[in-house]
Chain A
């Protein structure tokens, strides 16, 4: 579920349920009826029509996962959702669930629970949060855990613990380093192995498996064509979609490709961007790198006060080409391999330099999420690569999930000094 734009809805749910929050509530049909009712009510005021589509998709899919309506497959960020949708299983992305928990302000309790289990406080708080939720029984029970060895080590490692906790298999997909095209068949073979396991869970034969995957890849291709339109429209001067809102679409890009909701989301977003047009005079154009603190708004209010806008963000862009529905495993292998987070940081730096150029940014902000060896680790290299292109970079240390680690005053001072320097 995208994390922030449902804030009004989350507040309403918190008000009604926070006091009696228990794992059982999420397995109650009444709870989900209430959530669906609230999502349809005036309490839910999405900024974009498309947000209603993604919200409704994630509520339905999460409800079905809790109620056990289909096999549930837990995935980390880079697992291609086409693979899971196409096999009649429900993909569940616990890292995104952690972002939702954080945006509701509930993360500390679960992070502390993971620390009680002796997960170190030096580990990523997305993972500590989801591990705490899992240990307390708050997440929908998986039938299979599927992780890809990128973008970071944490998912593969925490899924190994979860595999023992739930007593279900954990499949690890090793994506080869870039420049090893001849190893794509090996990667395709691993995806086929995962698909066969999911087909077994959902009771599909090989023919049904291939038919389902062809359908999901066709849907993904359609969504991709609309996403490309969205990307083109966002490059215009002061496009009305701000990066602070668009950042939540990482959940759509990761979890909805291969579903009808993915197509409808990007179709509606492209349509509305075209209808709304641009917002007037050109403002300071910024790029956001890594993800945002899901619980805090002040940083973005500060940007607005200074007339600065986020025109693009690292995680919401397509990196792959349309796929061949008749050759699903090789196509999905190529999609996975195309991701800028696979391999050395120079690939990530090149992706960000390209975005900076295409979106004509005046500066870039890197949010160093504590414990993220992938993003913090690569930040110095990314900074140098952007500075070589003439793009000033601000690196802010913080935590996307744990609000207790957010140094409001320090961040605000550094941000304002940076914005002043761009004028």
Chain B
């Protein structure tokens, strides 16, 4: 890793603050095929994304500067292991409230201030309100660029573009990845490997028109601009912006999440929802029965799949996906 690179893992990471402090925020997606390397430090029944990220870091040269979000047990454990393994590197665990109301916004704004203080101390420089506003503008431009890039892109190509934006690199869309036909579906879940399960969906004839994933469309859904005049106001507005996005299933406002999903499915013309999540992710394991019930009431068909992130055996799911697509396409 380059000295100025700051690894991040959760979509609630305020990359604007990392950028404003002079670092380059780079989301890590880990090595989906080398999870076992993390077994000594993380139990095999933990989120495979978290294990893949640690496995990849173990294989990389220092420094391992990283920032973590206290969003779930898996991320907490990643932070624990990371801190113990790479004590020479910067590591900050940022709190994330579950509530998205006024109390949640206040708590997150304060936490942003804390993170910014830690970054300033590590960088040895003071971040001005202008630095913050510039970073917010840059991030917003990146988000708009993502939206322009993915117009007319579906499925794996769309998620690959989202990952590229999160990795702070230009998306490389290959014609072979570009599926333009198929049964329109909305994909919902936590985080999926674009070369794994997503390619299986496409082989089965699905056209994923919206990827409600944290490495898909979800982080690009906030609209509120950040315009505050001073540091506290900027941080409060930024906190509100993060809480305004389509929520992850770990947040307390499940009702809003379901409403937005249904609206999005209708807007995109999706004929059904494919719910796919990584194994051992409690936020999504407990979410499914509620979502299924909500979709049933809205008469939106749903298929549930599970991923181990590498998806070496996902071909076995092909028949199930094909049957589902056939059913919803009528």
Which A residues are closer than 8 A to B by beta carbons?
117-120, 122-124, 127, 149, 152-154, 156-158, 160-161, 164, 170, 172, 174, 176-177, 180, 182-183, 186, 189-190, 344-346, 368, 370-371, 373-374, 376-381, 384
Contacts and interface: CB of A to CB of B under 8 A. Distances in A.
Contact of B80 (A117, A180, A346): A346
Contact of A157 (B41, B280, B286): B286
A371 B77 contact: no
30 contacts: A117-B289, A118-B288, A118-B289, A120-B285, A122-B280, A123-B285, A152-B73, A152-B282, A154-B282, A158-B286, A160-B286, A174-B103, A174-B104, A176-B95, A180-B95, A186-B107, A189-B103, A190-B103, A344-B79, A344-B83, A346-B80, A346-B84, A368-B43, A373-B45, A373-B74, A373-B282, A376-B43, A376-B46, A377-B76, A380-B43
Nearest to A156: B98
Give the one of B42, B70, B285 with max A CB within 10 A: B285
Given A123-B285, A376-B43, 10 more contacts: A118-B304, A152-B73, A156-B252, A157-B286, A161-B286, A183-B107, A183-B110, A377-B80, A378-B77, A381-B81
Contacts, number: 126
Interface in B259-293: 279-280, 282-283, 285-290, 292-293
A156 B107 CA distance: 18
B300 interface: no
Contact of A164 (B47, B84, B110, B290): B290
Contacts of B41: 380-381
Interface centre among B41, B287, B290, B304 (most CB of A within 10 A): B290
Interface in B203-252: 249-250, 252
Interface of B: 40-43, 45-47, 70, 72-74, 76-77, 79-81, 83-84, 93, 95, 97-99, 103-104, 106-107, 110, 114, 249-250, 252, 254, 279-280, 282-283, 285-290, 292-293, 304, 306
Contact of A122 (B70, B97, B279): B279
B45 A122 contact: yes
Contact of B254 (A160, A182, A183): A160
B46 A384 contact: no
A156 B72 CA distance: 11
Contacts of B250: 153, 157
Can you list the 3 inter-chain pairs with the closest CB atoms, starting with the nearest?
A: A373-B73, A157-B286, A377-B77
Contacts of A189: 103
Contacts of B306: 120
A180 B72 contact: no
A164 B43 CA distance: 32
A345 B250 CA distance: 20
Contacts of A170: 252
A379 B42 CA distance: 8
Contacts of B252: 156, 160, 170, 172
Nearest to B98: A172
A120 B249 CA distance: 15
A123 B277 CA distance: 13
Nearest to A347: B80
A122 B306 CA distance: 11
Contacts of A373: 43, 45-47, 72-74, 77, 280, 282
Most chain-A CB neighbours within 10 Å: which of B254, B282, B304?
B282
Nearest to B106: A186
A121 to B, nearest CB: 9
A381 B283 contact: no
A152 B285 CA distance: 14
Contacts of A156: 98, 252
Given A177-B70, A177-B95, A380-B40, A161 B289 contact: yes
A202 B328 CA distance: 50
A123 B306 CA distance: 13
Contacts of A164: 290, 293
Contacts of A183: 107, 110
B83 A186 contact: no
Interface centre among A118, A183, A379, A380 (most CB of B within 10 A): A380
B168 to A, nearest CB: 27
A94 to B, nearest CB: 14
A379 B81 CA distance: 11
A158 B288 CA distance: 11
A381 B290 contact: no
Nearest to A154: B282
A169 to B, nearest CB: 11
A36 B282 CA distance: 38
A118 B287 CA distance: 10
A126 to B, nearest CB: 12
A412 to B, nearest CB: 22
Contact of B286 (A123, A177, A182, A381): A123
Contacts of A379: 43
A149 B99 CA distance: 11
Contacts of A381: 41, 80-81, 84
B73 A374 contact: yes
B247 to A, nearest CB: 12
B110 A378 contact: no
A123 B289 CA distance: 13
B93 A344 contact: yes
B22 to A, nearest CB: 25
A160 B289 contact: no
A346 B306 CA distance: 31
B176 to A, nearest CB: 34
A370 B30 CA distance: 25
A176 B306 CA distance: 32
Nearest to B294: A164
A422 B252 CA distance: 47
A118 B249 CA distance: 16
A183 B250 CA distance: 22
B289 A149 contact: no
Contact of B103 (A160, A180, A186): A186
With a 10 A CB-CB cut-off, give which of B77, B83, B288 has the most chain A CB atoms. B77
A377 B286 contact: no
A84 B288 CA distance: 31
Contacts of B104: 174
B107 to A, nearest CB: 6
A173 to B, nearest CB: 9
Contacts of A384: 84
A136 to B, nearest CB: 15
